[in-house]
């Protein structure tokens, strides 16, 4: 196997299938990633059936719709999907926009005005009696709920996790 003993931050390493196959300490496994999406958001593992997951940069997980021989020394592979190697894993805005419509829980739907505030990067007080932590934030677009990005809910407040470069005044 080409797995190395330490994480090399400039190349893509396919994550191990399960903990039993893990050779790099702290690296998320495919099983953990699928379980996390299912437990946190109710996204079924079948959504990612054709996907492989790769680590490049400590804890940064990329989702690639295909497979290659690991490791791969290139500049990008699929999209950045998830930050691991911290207590609470955090999905990216791009992954939420791409896969978030499969989510059945920890989805927070905003009104038009609140959605604008969220996209501008503003935090807001909100009534939410679901889980604390990272939520998939949606609003109505073309008549249907559409995921915008990631919000962090704590103490009655929704914090916008929209990265600075993606924020817009709409």
Partner 1 sequence: MTVLERYEPLIDDVEAFREACERPLPSAVRVNTIKTTVERGKVALDDAGIAYEETDWLPGLLRLPVDQPGANWPYVHGWLHGQEEVSALPATVLDPQPGERVWDACAAPGSKTSQLAALMDDRGLLVATDNNMGRVSALRSNAERLGVTNLALTVEDARNHSLKPFDSEPYDRALVDVPCSCEGTIRKNADVLDEWNYEQVQGTAGVQKGILRRAIQATREGGTVVYSTCTFAPEENEAVLDYVLEAEDCRVVPFEIGLEAAPGVTEWDDDHLDEPMAFDESVTHAKRIYPHLNDTGGFCCAKLEVTG
Kind plus residue range of the DSSP H or E element containing 79: strand 79-83
Q: Are 12 and 71 in contact (CB under 8 A)?
A: yes
Binder of partner 1 out of 7, 29, 80, 106 (CB under 8 A): 80
Rounded CA-CA distance 99/81 in Å is 10
Binding mask 123-162 for partner 1 (x = CB under 8 A): ------------------xxxx-x-x--------------
Binding mask 100-119 for partner 1 (x = CB under 8 A): -------------------x
Binding mask 38-77 for partner 1 (x = CB under 8 A): ------------xx-----------xxxx-xx--xxxxxx
Question: What is the secondary structure of 86-116 as a DSSP string?
Answer: SSS-EE-HHHHHHHGGG--SSEEE--HHHHH
């Amino acid at each position: 196997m080409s797995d190395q003993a330490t994480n090399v931050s400039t190349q893509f390493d396919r994550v191990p299938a399960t903990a039993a196959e893990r050779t790099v300490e702290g690296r998320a496994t495919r099983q953990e990633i699928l379980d996390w999406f299912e437990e946190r958001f109710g996204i079924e593992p079948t959504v990612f059936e054709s996907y492989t997951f790769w680590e490049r940069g400590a804890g940064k997980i990329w989702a690639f719709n295909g497979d290659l021989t690991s490791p791969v020394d290139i500049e990008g592979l699929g999209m950045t999907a998830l930050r691991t190697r911290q207590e609470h894993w955090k999905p990216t805005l791009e992954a939420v926009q791409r896969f978030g419509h499969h989510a059945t829980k920890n989805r927070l739907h905003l009104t038009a005005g609140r959605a604008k505030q969220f996209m501008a990067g503003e935090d807001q007080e909100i009534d939410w009696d679901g889980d604390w932590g990272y939520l998939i934030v949606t609003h109505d677009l073309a008549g249907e709920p559409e995921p915008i990005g990631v919000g962090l809910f704590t103490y009655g407040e929704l914090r916008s996790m929209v990265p600075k470069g993606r924020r817009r005044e709409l």
